[in-house]
């Protein structure tokens, strides 16, 4: 039988002639996912998976398991997600969880080693961080509506003025009615913010960061990648420099590839896939039209129709894993953008203060954990990369 204890898998060998009759009979009653306590001798055996096996001398059933709902056969996706609390035990899901864990630890180590300070930002917020249309709200005592944070960015901008290099890392929420393989309503995002970094510095930091995360998984989680049947070759190509292409050039290239994309609209998921497929490494698309991007991005002084931002697209069709930008550091321009987008300037008084009291060039970005893990694992949909995904039609388990 195959045993799992959270540290790995082990084959248990039971032979009738070496066991008391009662133990042999208990063995006969075992079903998949029964919880057991065993005694025996562990021996090296080159033929056994993992190089060892256990010769069992005694066996106690701790928790029987009649009719485990997930059998080694084809179940539909819907069924598996309804049984997510049990599906987590399967080998593929265990491997994905371990890769995610490595990515998360890699994120913390990367920033710690580079002297960034972690600043935890609020989840209940009064100021909308990204887009008004995609908010979860709740009544907040006498103060009206509170929103679940779409981003911690506005707060890490304040913290960067105090601490220089900072980041926040936590769950973020988007009431997006998207049912794509790239969207969750609750996802984890890490958001560094650096005082005095401009947009080019920002891209260099992203490059180093993504390369580090991928390298770390390749180095420490090769067993899991094997379990996932993930070909590591494309991941091994993730080296600096990443490709860089302006939004305007991306539109030209997409048109040549047959897309009906026009200048001025955002890149859709299909466009991102098509574009990213042309490159063997992650790709930066920079300086998008102002009209499709958030209010806080700095206007490009060389072309006021565009902003100093970038997306980072993962190869193999995975598309956007990072959105980043240099921030508008001019008080009056920022206020004008807030008004233009119909946002309430009162809610942003504190944010505007940052431009009033010693403003400074600064930049940052957000990397989505689930999209990054999906790409590294080669998973077709990001919902498998978080233990309990939240989607528009899913709130249980
Ligand atoms: O909306 S982003 O492009 N940018 C921000 O939120 C900025 N405030 C980040 C910053 O500059 N500090 O989202 C960033 C990333 C994006 O590239 C995805 O990887 C991920 O967050 N993201 C998502 N993942 C899963 N599901 C959804 N709905 C989602 N939305 C964004």
* 177: confidence class by pLDDT, cuts 50, 70, 90: confident
Is the model's pLDDT at 340 over the cut of 80?
Answer: yes
Residue with the smallest CA separation from ligand 1 atom 7 is 366
Domain boundary among 42, 68, 94: 68
**CA–CA separation, 298 and 231 (whole Å):** 39
Is the model's pLDDT at 98 over the cut of 80?
Answer: yes
Is the model's pLDDT at 290 over the cut of 80?
Answer: yes
Q: Are residues 263 and 369 in the same domain?
A: yes
**CA–CA separation, 90 and 98 (whole Å):** 12
Position 191 scores a pLDDT of: 98
Least confident among 143-157, 175-189, 376-390:
175-189
Pocket probe for ligand 1: among 160, 182, 184, 189, the residue whose CB has the most ligand atoms within 8 Å is 189
**Strand ordering across the sheet containing 124-125:** 124-125, 145-148, 137-139
Mean pLDDT of the chain: 95
395 found inside a domain: no
As given in the structure block, the two tokens for residue 82 are 């309804």
Q: Are residues 139 and 266 in the same domain?
A: yes
Q: Which letter does DSSP use for residue 303 in this model?
A: -
Q: Are residues 361 and 283 in the same domain?
A: yes
Q: Which letter does DSSP use for residue 115 in this model?
A: T
Is the model's pLDDT at 188 over the cut of 90?
Answer: yes
**CA–CA separation, 295 and 149 (whole Å):** 16
Position 128 scores a pLDDT of: 82
251 found inside a domain: yes
Domain that holds residue 250: 86-385
Residue with the smallest CA separation from ligand 1 atom 17 is 322
**CA–CA separation, 41 and 20 (whole Å):** 16
Q: Output the ligand 1 site: residues, CB below 6 A.
A: 129-130, 151, 153, 174, 176, 183-184, 187, 189, 191, 320-325, 364-366, 368, 370-371
Position 218 scores a pLDDT of: 98
Mean pLDDT across 266-270: 91
Q: Are residues 172 and 308 in the same domain?
A: yes
Residue with the smallest CA separation from ligand 1 atom 29 is 183
391 found inside a domain: no
370 found inside a domain: yes
- CA 63 – ligand 1 centroid, Å: 43
Ligand 1 atom closest to the Cα of residue 193 is 12
Domain boundary among 13, 34, 68: 68
- CA 182 – ligand 1 centroid, Å: 11
Q: Are residues 26 and 105 in the same domain?
A: no
State if pTM tops 0.95: yes
Is the model's pLDDT at 131 over the cut of 80?
Answer: no
**CA–CA separation, 383 and 80 (whole Å):** 12
Mean pLDDT across 91-101: 98
Partner residues linked to 348 by β-bridges: none
Q: Are residues 287 and 177 in the same domain?
A: yes
- CA 173 – ligand 1 centroid, Å: 10
Q: Which letter does DSSP use for residue 289 in this model?
A: B
73 found inside a domain: no
Q: Are residues 213 and 258 in the same domain?
A: yes
Residue with the smallest CA separation from ligand 1 atom 2 is 323
**CA–CA separation, 109 and 116 (whole Å):** 10
As given in the structure block, the two tokens for residue 220 are 């420490």
- CA 188 – ligand 1 centroid, Å: 9
Query: How many CB atoms within 10 Å of residue 330?
Result: 13
- CA 368 – ligand 1 centroid, Å: 6
Q: Are residues 195 and 47 in the same domain?
A: no
* 225: confidence class by pLDDT, cuts 50, 70, 90: very high
**CA–CA separation, 301 and 278 (whole Å):** 30
Q: Are residues 256 and 358 in the same domain?
A: yes
Position 29 scores a pLDDT of: 93
* Selection from 365, 361, 97, 98 nearest residue 208 by Cα: 365
Query: CATH number of the domain that 35 lies in?
Result: 2.40.50.140
Position 119 scores a pLDDT of: 98
Q: What total of structural domains would you count in the chain? A: 2
Position 174 scores a pLDDT of: 95
- CA 313 – ligand 1 centroid, Å: 12
Is the model's pLDDT at 129 over the cut of 80?
Answer: no
Pocket probe for ligand 1: among 187, 307, 367, the residue whose CB has the most ligand atoms within 8 Å is 187
Q: Are residues 188 and 335 in the same domain?
A: yes
Residue with the smallest CA separation from ligand 1 atom 1 is 323
Q: Which letter does DSSP use for residue 204 in this model?
A: H
329 found inside a domain: yes
- CA 307 – ligand 1 centroid, Å: 17
74 found inside a domain: no
Pocket probe for ligand 1: among 160, 323, 369, the residue whose CB has the most ligand atoms within 8 Å is 323
Q: Are residues 268 and 351 in the same domain?
A: yes
Residue 72: which residues within 8 A CB-CB, separation 6 or more? Answer: 32
Q: Are residues 20 and 162 in the same domain?
A: no
Query: CATH number of the domain that 249 lies in?
Result: 3.30.930.10
190 found inside a domain: yes
Residue with the smallest CA separation from ligand 1 atom 18 is 368
**CA–CA separation, 108 and 324 (whole Å):** 19
């Amino acid at each position: 039988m195959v045993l799992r204890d959270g540290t790995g898998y082990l084959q248990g060998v039971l032979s009738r002639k070496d066991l008391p009759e009662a133990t042999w009979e208990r063995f006969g009653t075992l079903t998949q996912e029964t919880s057991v306590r065993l005694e025996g001798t562990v021996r090296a055996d080159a033929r056994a998976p993992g190089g060892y096996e256990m010769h069992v001398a005694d066996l106690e059933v701790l928790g029987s398991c009649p009719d485990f709902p997930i059998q080694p056969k084809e179940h539909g996706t819907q069924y598996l997600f309804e049984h997510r609390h049990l599906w987590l035990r399967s080998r593929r899901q265990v491997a994905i969880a371990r890769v995610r864990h490595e990515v998360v630890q890699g994120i913390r180590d990367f920033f710690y080693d580079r002297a960034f300070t972690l600043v935890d930002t609020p989840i209940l917020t009064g100021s909308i961080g990204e887009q008004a249309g995609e908010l979860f709200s709740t009544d907040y005592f006498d103060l009206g509506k509170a929103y679940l944070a779409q981003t911690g960015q506005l707060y890490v901008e304040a913290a960067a003025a105090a601490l220089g290099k900072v980041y926040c890392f936590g769950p973020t929420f988007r009431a997006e009615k998207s049912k794509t393989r790239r969207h969750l309503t609750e996802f984890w995002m890490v958001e560094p913010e650096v005082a005095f970094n401009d947009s080019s510095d920002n891209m260099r930091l992203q490059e180093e960061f993504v390369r580090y995360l991928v390298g770390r998984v390749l180095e420490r989680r090769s067993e899991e990648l094997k379990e996932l049947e993930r070909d590591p070759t494309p991941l091994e190509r993730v080296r600096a420099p990443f490709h860089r292409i302006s939004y305007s050039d991306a539109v030209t290239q997409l048109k040549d590839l047959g897309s009906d994309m026009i200048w001025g609209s955002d890149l859709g998921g299909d466009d991102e896939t098509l574009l990213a497929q042309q490159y063997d490494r992650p790709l930066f698309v920079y300086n998008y039209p102002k009209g499709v991007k958030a209010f806080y991005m700095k206007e490009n002084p060389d072309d006021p129709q565009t902003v100093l931002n970038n997306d980072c697209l993962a190869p193999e069709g995975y598309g956007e894993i990072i959105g980043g930008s240099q921030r508008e550091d001019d008080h009056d321009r920022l206020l004008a953008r807030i008004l233009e987008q119909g946002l309430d300037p009162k809610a942003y008084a504190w944010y505007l203060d940052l431009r009033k009291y010693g403003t400074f060039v600064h930049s940052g970005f957000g990397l989505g954990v689930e999209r990054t893990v999906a790409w590294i694992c080669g998973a077709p949909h990001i919902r498998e990369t978080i233990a309990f995904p939240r989607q528009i039609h899913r709130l249980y388990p």
